[in-house]
Amino acid sequence: MKISPFLFLAALLVAPAGAAERLVVTVAHGLAAARPAETISVPWTEVAGRLPGAQPDSLVVRDAAGAALAYQFTNFQPDDVAGRYGDVLFQHDFAAGEARAVFTVERAPGPVPPWPAKVFARYVPERFDDFAFENDRLAHRVYGPALATPAAGRHRLTGSGLDLWAKRVRYPIIDRWYLRGHDAYHRDNGEGLDFYTVGTSRGLGGTGVWAAGRLHPSGNWSSWRVLANGPLRAVFELDYDAWDAGGVRVSERKRFTVDAGANFHRVETTLTFTGGPEVTLALGLAKAKAAGRELPAVVVNSPATGRLSRWTTYPKDAEGQLGTAVLLGAGAFAATTEDELNQLALVPVKSGQPFCYYVGAGWSRSGDFATAAEWDAAVAATAARLRSPVTISLSVAP
């Protein structure tokens, strides 16, 4: 008799933990505030070392009440026959005052069907080489090589800023919106809309090099690579060919890490160049404009805490208000500046040395943020979480 994979999964969810060994994962943190959708990462080497014979697609992860949790394993080198898997990922909503949570990882008798994906990333050749990605909160795209050619017609554009599609739903919308057509997703059908203008600006956390008093941005991305694609985390890389950054030839690789349930994404950028010990990396937020005039915005510019954010009021009711932010995980910006299109945070970087920052957004019509104060509190809460990461301890129990 053929057994449905969904019935098999249901059996796993209700089956009590057996007498076989279990990996006990204890997660702690030092904040009094809530930490929703905290992603917990356990190295596969630790799982395999404590649960001999475990397979990454045949696990059950349970919380303290015994409920099975969605999980994901990563493998950034799938052609490696040695099977050097990366991490086992799962999530937990820490309530305010919950400083500790315990989970177990168990072997399953066979492959566990995949959990519904909350993140997604893909190359979009049907729309002039866009690269699009999303989680259950936000959607984005980055412009690719075909958009900078005559084939793009009226859409032709050279720009490496990060675009934002504002969502009102928790399910994936990228494929649905592309199918609707370019102009259709500028109207809200109940799922959200694209009203954020990037053009040649930095958009939401795009980069460039600041030299001789002005910004020197790259062109459109030149190549892409997806490393992980859900259900809880998407990881991908975009490469940018070398460009002239004020007399220095600079190339760039960006690695994005996008987690479910988060309004902020991690970006690791690596600039490669010769001709000097360092260059000044500029992290930008676009100044929203309408009819040639900058829209009203509440701006927080705090180099000492590594925070640069905006809460912009748009002219149309369907657009509402939008929060955008660039955030350092640790340390602080060296300085901030601006040009006609962007607010910019400046950081000196060395060639080949990765630099990590976070980009985030929140929309008033999403139901998550209603005011500038709520957005500012969310930015501050994210910064606090980055300063106080969770700690993980492992043990084995019968």
Indicate if the pLDDT at residue 18 is higher than 70: no
- Look at residue 9 in the predicted model and tell me its pLDDT: 42
The residue behind tokens 């002219």 is 315
Cβ count near 304 (within 10 Å): 7
Indicate if the pLDDT at residue 292 is higher than 60: yes
For 365-383, give the DSSP string: GGTS--SHHHHHHHHHHHH
**70: helix, strand or coil:** coil
Q: What are the Cα distances from residue 314, in Å, to 295, 321, 375, 378? A: 7, 6, 16, 20
- Binned at pLDDT 50, 70 and 90, residue 12 comes out as very low
The model's pTM is: 0.93
Mean pLDDT throughout 5-14?
40
- Look at residue 83 in the predicted model and tell me its pLDDT: 72
Question: Cis before residue 114, ω within 30 degrees of 0?
Answer: no
Mean pLDDT throughout 140-147?
97
For residue 153, the cross-strand partners are none
Determine the straight-line distance between the first and last CA of the chain, rounded to whole angstroms: 33
**Where is average pLDDT lowest: 10-14, 36-40, 94-98, 382-386?**
10-14
- Look at residue 4 in the predicted model and tell me its pLDDT: 43
The tokens describing 140, both together, are: 């984005």
Are 104 and 23 in contact by the 8 Å Cβ rule? The answer is: yes
Residues 6+ apart with CB under 8 A from 341: 199, 200, 201, 202, 284, 286, 287
Domains and CATH numbers, the chain: 5-115+390-397 (2.60.40.1180), 120-367 (2.70.98)
What is the rounded average pLDDT for all residues in the chain?
92
Are 322 and 192 in contact by the 8 Å Cβ rule? The answer is: no
Mean pLDDT throughout 144-148?
97
Indicate if the pLDDT at residue 276 is higher than 60: yes
CA distance 60 to 40: 15
- Binned at pLDDT 50, 70 and 90, residue 2 comes out as very low
- Look at residue 79 in the predicted model and tell me its pLDDT: 86
- Look at residue 330 in the predicted model and tell me its pLDDT: 67
Closest to 361 measured CA to CA, from 261, 264, 288, 282: 264
Q: Which one has a higher pLDDT value, 7 or 221?
A: 221
Mean pLDDT throughout 126-132?
97
